[in-house]
Amino acid sequence: MSPTPPTSSTRRRFLATGLGTALLGSGCQPAPRTDAISGGFTGINQGLGHLLQSPKTWPTPGVTRRTGVLIAGGGVAGLAAARALRLQGMEDFALLELEDEAGGNSRAGLTGGMACPRGAHYLPLPGDDAPEVQDLLEELGLRQRVAGRWVYDERHLCHSPQERLFFNGDWQPGLLPLQDVSAATLAQYQKFSEIVAQLQRQARWRIPASKWPLAPIQQALSAITFDKYLNQQGCTDVHLRWYLDYCCRDDYGAGLATVSAWAGIHYFASRHGFAVPGMEAETSEGLLTWPEGNDWLTRRLAAPLGTRLHTGRVVVRVAQMKHGVEVDCYDAATQTLERWLARRAIVALPVFVAARVVENPSDWLRSSASHTAYAPWLVANIHIKAALHDRPGAPPSWDNVLYGDAQTAPGLGYVDASHQKLQSVPGPTVLTCYRALGDVAAASASAGLAPGVAGRRLLQDQPWHFWRDTLLAELAQPHPDLITKASHIDITRYGHAMAIPTPGLLNKNALQPLLNNHYVLQKSERFALRHESLNFAHSDWAGYSVFEEAFTLGHLAA
């Protein structure tokens, strides 16, 4: 059930049945024109990132700078590392970031003059296994003690209604298909709920997961695909499997045929379990969100850095020297190389980048990079100039998802960037649409492509108007008037948005022992790591990408 992009013929049928129906449904009136909608690609400087694609001999830098600690990478992990240094009273550090602002996949922008996310858009309320994240939220005033209990600022909690699903022609509350499903489907929901509950009793499922070793049952689950595990358990219902596939694509960038069974179970067991319909426990413990998404958090992490934050820098070389490290980077503004000398460096870069830029990388770093697959993502922000006509059923929600197969609904739906504003009368807004492309390789298995490769090619090769028409066709199913009300579409492309937790990754990958999981390391390895001048921090080292993992790993690296 993993989604694949439509072929040209499938796409023509898709447009005919989706967007075409919406355009022609008004009788003899002329069909609206999609080319009246402006927009383009934004948010990512692909040219800078591609400087590292091919091996290259760089000239000797003409400028040398010094600092105590050098942080390479300004995503959530790098920003967390900078905050941790400041908490220790360490002010002699610098942070290098490739883009024109820090934040990584949690940045935002303006579409039609309205703030909207260009990546991660929410943060679940952290549990006690994530004290570092809890401390951050307390520091930012998002939670405080009231009468001995932790209370979150309601202005930042996601307002109701939170979720709805377009299913069988109508909107229904929640994302689990329920409208007119059979008793057999409900029985499968119950069965999977019991499976999750049993696994929760057998092992501790935590977020962040990278701080603790896997239990034997978790190691076994991490070795097979979620699809295979579900088949073993007799979980074959099409609606159940659609929902589980959606959850995996939403959190991991690829579906149940690609991610490990550990990842599929972790999605539920680490938080609120899997609720059986009718038990009123289907909602999670709550989440924090903002019109600009997690950019609200990263901007506040970056603000205190001042001149210690250096943007437009492409790290091209990291070398351990006798008395510290040398880090060479390309300055996009001056188009020159500069060298940084530091006592230590924190490499908060994706694993595949770290393996390219670290001079003489160790075997474990090369191995980790070779075993890590990445999901490409597309984030589209569609500005609409007036409220959309809505189908019957559940009212407009923060998260709006379409049920369908790989041709009719390959996306992950959309979030309404104005939802937190609680507008009394709906009006202009931005719909932020997400599409994970980590499964596209499944359609090219005969070519031997790894997960994510074909998706990156599609993302790179298709022009903006291809995505404009494809997205409008999909969303025209619940909103036939979208084409007449959309005015502008900004599209952000992430070629390597997140590591995919594929089978075997947590066992093959030497990532877990790298920082704080000393129980895995032999004494000699611990001794060697302690005397190296590099620390590594990125959500890749957890094997999957969520804010809690990236932030905790960055904090611990510092």
Domain 64-100+311-368+504-557 in the same topology as domain 1-61+158-174+282-309+372-503: no
Instruction: Please give the angle made by the CA atoms of 118, 119 and 120, to the nearest 5 degrees.
Output: 140
Query: Lowest-pLDDT range, 17-21, 183-187, 260-264, 416-420?
Result: 17-21
H and E: helices and strands count for the chain:
19, 21
List of residues 6+ apart from 392 with CB closer than 8 A: 170, 171
Q: Is 29 exposed, middle or buried (0-12, 13-18, 19+ CB in 10 A)?
A: exposed
228: left (phi over 0), alpha (psi -120 to 50) or beta: alpha
In this prediction, residues 95-108 reach a mean pLDDT of 96
Range of lowest pLDDT (43-47, 84-88, 265-269, 345-349): 43-47
pLDDT tens digits along 359-392: 999 888 998 999 999 999 999 999 999 999 988 8
Q: Which residues pair with 314 in a beta bridge?
A: 330
Closest to 315 (Cα-Cα) out of 277, 352, 354 = 354
Fill in the DSSP letter of residue 515. T
Average pLDDT for 154-171: 94
Instruction: Give residue 441's pLDDT.
Output: 58
Rounded distance, CA 366 to CA 32, Å?
52
What token pair was written down for 558? 């510092």
Task: Please name every residue paired with 489 in a beta bridge, in sequence order, or none if there are none.
Answer: 39, 382
Of 90-99, 260-269, 423-432, where does mean pLDDT reach its minimum?
423-432
Chain-wide mean pLDDT for the chain? 87
* Region at 317 (left for phi over 0; alpha for psi -120 to 50; beta for the rest): beta
CA 211 to chain centre: 20
CB 414 within 8 A of CB 430: no
Give residue 31's pLDDT: 54
Q: What CATH number is given for 1-61+158-174+282-309+372-503 in this structure?
A: 3.90.660
What's the pLDDT tens digit per position in 421-446?
877 667 899 999 999 999 885 544 44
Q: How many residues does the chain have?
A: 558
Give the single-character DSSP code of 260. B
- Identify the pLDDT of residue 99: 94
Phi then psi for residue 187, to 5 deg, are -65, -35
- Residue 8 reports pLDDT greater than 60: no
Could you give the CA distance from residue 511 to residue 538 in angstroms, rounded to a whole number? 10
Q: Assess whether pLDDT exceeds 50 at residue 466.
A: yes
Homologous superfamily of 64-100+311-368+504-557 in CATH?
FAD/NAD(P)-binding domain (3.50.50.60)
Read out DSSP for 57-84? PPPPPSEEEEEEEEEE--SHHHHHHHHH
pLDDT for position 180: 92
Dist CA 392 CA 171 (whole Å):
6
For every residue of 360-429, DSSP letters joined together read S--HHHHHHHHT-EEEEEEEEEEEESSPPP--SBSPP-SEEEE---TTT--S--EEETTGGG--SS--SE
pLDDT in the model for residue 532: 72
CA distance 73 to 345: 11
Q: Which of 86-100, 207-221, 223-237, 504-518 has the lowest mean pLDDT?
A: 504-518
State residue 350's pLDDT score.
Answer: 95
pLDDT band at 278 (very low <50, low <70, confident <90, very high): low
Show me where the domains of the chain are located: 1-61+158-174+282-309+372-503, 64-100+311-368+504-557
Does residue 526 surpass a pLDDT of 90?
no
Q: What is the DSSP letter of 225?
A: B
Pairing of the two strands 63-72 and 93-96: parallel
* Nearest of 539, 547, 459 to residue 73 by alpha carbon: 539
Higher pLDDT, 23 or 435: 435
- Sign of the C-alpha dihedral, residues 187, 191, 197, 200? negative
List, in order, residues 6 or more apart from 250 with CB less than 8 Å away: 412, 434, 436
